[in-house]
C-alpha cells in the first residue's frame, strides 16, 4: 500500500536477514479506503496466528528439555489438570507420575530446580509437587520465586523432602510439607489434598440469561479464557434463586430482561445483594435495552459493572468478568498467607560465617559475595586451620567447608566438628568441585548439614544459608 517491499535472505544453519524498504515520500500515493470487514478479519487472523505461534513456542521450549521420564509435556491441551513434579530422584518421580495418571492428571517432570521454575512459568500447572534438595536451583529458591510471581503465585505447592524444615516451608508459602520417606498412604493423602486445593481454585460463574444462545456464547468465551471455570446458567428468576441457595459464586452475569421487563431483573439484583451470602459477590449487568436515570442509579448502587449489548459488548463482558475473577483469586491468595517472612530477607545481616578453602581465589570471590550481604567472614585454609578458628571464634554460626584440601580435608574436619560438644550442632554446608555419584551421601555421613557443588551458584548458596540460619 505504501509502495515498499520486504526481502528475505536465509541460509540454512547460518540465519536470516529481513529487509524492509519504505519510500521517503508517500504524499503522492492514493491509498484505497480500508474495508472494515477486511480489517476485522485480518486482525483476527493475526491474533489467532500469534496465539498459535506462542503456544507452539511454549510447547517447543518445554520439549527442548529432554525428559528423563516419558512424561506428558508433548500432549498438554488444557483439557485436564496438570501436575508439575520437580524431583531429582527419578524412581520417586516416576511413582508420583504414575499416581498422577491414576488421578487423571497430566504430569510433567523436571529434575532440576531452575527447569522446574521455568516449567511453572510456561505451563502454569494446576499444582506442584517439589523436593527441596535439587540441582541447578534449590527448592527454597524455586518456592520463593514462584510466590513472588504474580502470574503463578496462586499455584498450590506440596513439598516432599527429607529436610526437617516444615515450619519454614509453610511460612514461605508451601501448601503442605511432607517429610520423606513416604509410603503409599502418605501419597494418597497428598493427592487428596491436591484435589481439594484444585476445587478451591475452580472459578464459579452464574449466568442469569433467558436466551439459550446468549448463555452458550458467554459460556464458550469464558471457557476459552480458563477451562478451570464452573459455569452455571439460569433462565428465570426462580431458577436463579435455586442456584444461589445451593452455592456461592465468584461472579454473576445478570440480564435485566428475563422475559417480563427490566424491573424483574432489577428486583432480582436487589435481592441478591441483600442476601448476606452474596453481598460481596460481583454482579455484572448485561442488558440489551436502555435504562432510565432512576434504573441506572439503582444499578450503579448494587452492581459492579454495566455492559450494554452491542457490537463490542461480548469482549467487554468477558474482560469485566475476568477482572473480577482475578480479583477474587488474588484475595484468596492473600488469605492463604503466601508471603516470604520479612525476617528471611534480613537473616544474613551481621551473622558470622567461617569460610574454609585452600584456594585463595575462591576465598576472595566468596568473601566478596558474603560481605556484600553484610555477613562477618572468617577464613581458614584447611581443615586443621578451621578447627583452630572455631576454637578462637565461638561466635561463628555457620561453616562453608571445602572438601579437597591439604593436611586435613573437609571430610575429616566435619567429623571432628561433630565430635566436639560445643559445636556439634553447627550448620555446615559442604562445597566441593567433585560431582560424583554418592558425594552428597558421603558429605552428609561425615557431618555436613547440606551440600553444594562448585562452581558455586551464589543465589543457591545464600538461600541455603538462610534456611540453616533460620531459627524455627
Q: pLDDT tens digits, residue range 219-233?
A: 888 877 666 678 899
CB atoms within 10 A of CB 371: 12
CATH number listed for the domain at residues 63-200: 3.40.50.2300
Q: What is the mean pLDDT of residues 18-37?
A: 67
Average pLDDT of the chain is: 81
Torsion angle of C-alpha atoms 47, 52, 55, 60, degrees rounded to 10: -140
Of 41-45, 93-97, 186-190, 243-247, the one with minimum mean pLDDT is 41-45
Nearest to 201 by CA among 135, 157, 239: 157
Query: d(Cα 286, Cα 367) in Å, to the nearest integer?
Result: 63
Q: How confident is the model over 91-125, as pLDDT tens digits?
A: 999 999 999 999 888 999 999 998 999 999 988 88
**pLDDT at residue number 450:** 83
**pLDDT at residue number 409:** 92
Q: What is the mean pLDDT of residues 154-177?
A: 87
**pLDDT at residue number 262:** 75
- Find the distance separating the first CA and the last CA of the chain, reported in whole Å: 69
**pLDDT at residue number 329:** 53
**pLDDT at residue number 5:** 86
Q: Is the pLDDT of residue 14 over 80?
A: yes
Helices and strands (H and E) in the chain: how many: 17, 17
Of 171-180, 252-261, 289-298, 363-372, the one with minimum mean pLDDT is 289-298
pTM above 0.75, yes or no: no
- What is the grid cell recorded at 72? 506428558
List C-alpha distances in Å: 118 to 62, 115, 149, 262: 9, 5, 12, 50
1 secondary structure, DSSP code: -
- Say which residues have a Cβ less than 8 Å from residue 178's Cβ, sequence separation at least 6: 158, 159, 160, 161, 186, 190
**pLDDT at residue number 472:** 41
**pLDDT at residue number 417:** 94
- Per-residue DSSP letters for 379-439? EESSHHHHHHHHHH-TT--EEEEESS-SSS-HHHHHHHHHHSGGGTT--EEEEES---TTH
Triad 154, 334, 205: Cα angle to 5°: 65
pLDDT: which is higher, 318 or 401: 401
**pLDDT at residue number 291:** 72
Nearest to 81 by CA among 108, 60, 58: 108
Q: Is there a contact between 435 and 113 (Cβ–Cβ < 8 Å)? A: no
> Which sign does the torsion angle of CA 364, 367, 372, 374 carry?
negative
**pLDDT at residue number 131:** 94
Q: What is the mean pLDDT of residues 432-447?
A: 73
Q: Is the pLDDT of residue 412 over 90?
A: yes
pLDDT: which is higher, 55 or 427: 427
Longest dimension (CA), the chain: 94
Topology match between the domains 203-336 and 343-469 = yes
Q: Which fold has domain 343-469?
A: Rossmann fold (3.40.50)
**pLDDT at residue number 280:** 81
**pLDDT at residue number 120:** 92
Q: Is there a contact between 122 and 58 (Cβ–Cβ < 8 Å)? A: yes
Q: What percent of the chain has pLDDT over 70?
A: 81
Query: d(Cα 73, Cα 87) in Å, to the nearest integer?
Result: 16
Q: How confident is the model over 315-371, as pLDDT tens digits?
A: 777 777 776 676 555 555 454 445 555 545 567 888 999 999 988 888 888 888 898
**pLDDT at residue number 274:** 86
Each domain of the chain, given as residue ranges in start order, spans 63-200, 203-336, 343-469
Domain 203-336 has CATH 3.40.50.880: no
pLDDT: which is higher, 164 or 379: 379
Q: Is there a contact between 234 and 205 (Cβ–Cβ < 8 Å)? A: no
Q: Is the pLDDT of residue 74 over 80?
A: yes
Amino acid at each position: 500500500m505504501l509502495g515498499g517491499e520486504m526481502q528475505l535472505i536465509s541460509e540454512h544453519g547460518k540465519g536470516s536477514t529481513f529487509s524492509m524498504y519504505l519510500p521517503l515520500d508517500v504524499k503522492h500515493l492514493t491509498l484505497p479506503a480500508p474495508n472494515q470487514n477486511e480489517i476485522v478479519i485480518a486482525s483476527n487472523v493475526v491474533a489467532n496466528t500469534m496465539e498459535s505461534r506462542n503456544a507452539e513456542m511454549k510447547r517447543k521450549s518445554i520439549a527442548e528439555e529432554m525428559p528423563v521420564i516419558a512424561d506428558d509435556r508433548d500432549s498438554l491441551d488444557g483439557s485436564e489438570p496438570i501436575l508439575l513434579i520437580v524431583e531429582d530422584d527419578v524412581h520417586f518421580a516416576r511413582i508420583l507420575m504414575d499416581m498422577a495418571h491414576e488421578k487423571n492428571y497430566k504430569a510433567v517432570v523436571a529434575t532440576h530446580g531452575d527447569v522446574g521454575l521455568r516449567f511453572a512459568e510456561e505451563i502454569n500447572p494446576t499444582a506442584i509437587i517439589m523436593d527441596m534438595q535439587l540441582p541447578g536451583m534449590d527448592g527454597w529458591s524455586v518456592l520463593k520465586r514462584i510466590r513472588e510471581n504474580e502470574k503463578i503465585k496462586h499455584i498450590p505447592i506440596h513439598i516432599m523432602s527429607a529436610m526437617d524444615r516444615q515450619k519454614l516451608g509453610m511460612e514461605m508459602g508451601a501448601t503442605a510439607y511432607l517429610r520423606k520417606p513416604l509410603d503409599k498412604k502418605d501419597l494418597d493423602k497428598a493427592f487428596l489434598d491436591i484435589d481439594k486445593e484444585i476445587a478451591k481454585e475452580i472459578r464459579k460463574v452464574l449466568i442469569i440469561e433467558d436466551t439459550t444462545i446468549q448463555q452458550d456464547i458467554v459460556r464458550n468465551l469464558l471457557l476459552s479464557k480458563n477451562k478451570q471455570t464452573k459455569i452455571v446458567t439460569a433462565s428465570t428468576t426462580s431458577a436463579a434463586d435455586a442456584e444461589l441457595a445451593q452455592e456461592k459464586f465468584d461472579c454473576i452475569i445478570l440480564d435485566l430482561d428475563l422475559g417480563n421487563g427490566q424491573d424483574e431483573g432489577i428486583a432480582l439484583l436487589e435481592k441478591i445483594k441483600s442476601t448476606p451470602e452474596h453481598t460481596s459477590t460481583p454482579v455484572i449487568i448485561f442488558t440489551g435495552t436502555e435504562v432510565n436515570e432512576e434504573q441506572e442509579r439503582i444499578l450503579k448502587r448494587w452492581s459492579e459493572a454495566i455492559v450494554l449489548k452491542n457490537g463490542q459488548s461480548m469482549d467487554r463482558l468477558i474482560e469485566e468478568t475476568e477482572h473480577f475473577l482475578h480479583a477474587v483469586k488474588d484475595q484468596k491468595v492473600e488469605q492463604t498467607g503466601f508471603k516470604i517472612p520479612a525476617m528471611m530477607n534480613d537473616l544474613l545481616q551481621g551473622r558470622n560465617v567461617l569460610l574454609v578453602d585452600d584456594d585463595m581465589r575462591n576465598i576472595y570471590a566468596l568473601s566478596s559475595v558474603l560481605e556484600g550481604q553484610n555477613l562477618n567472614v572468617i577464613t581458614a585454609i584447611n581443615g586443621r586451620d578451621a578447627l583452630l578458628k572455631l576454637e578462637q571464634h565461638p561466635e561463628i554460626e555457620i561453616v562453608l567447608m571445602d572438601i579437597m584440601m591439604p593436611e586435613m580435608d573437609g571430610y575429616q574436619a566435619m567429623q571432628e566438628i561433630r565430635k566436639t560438644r560445643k559445636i556439634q550442632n553447627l550448620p555446615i554446608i559442604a562445597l566441593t568441585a567433585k560431582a560424583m555419584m554418592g558425594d552428597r551421601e558421603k558429605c552428609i555421613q561425615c557431618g555436613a548439614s547440606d551440600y553444594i557443588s562448585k562452581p558455586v551458584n551464589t543465589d543457591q548458596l545464600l538461600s541455603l544459608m538462610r534456611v540453616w540460619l533460620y531459627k524455627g
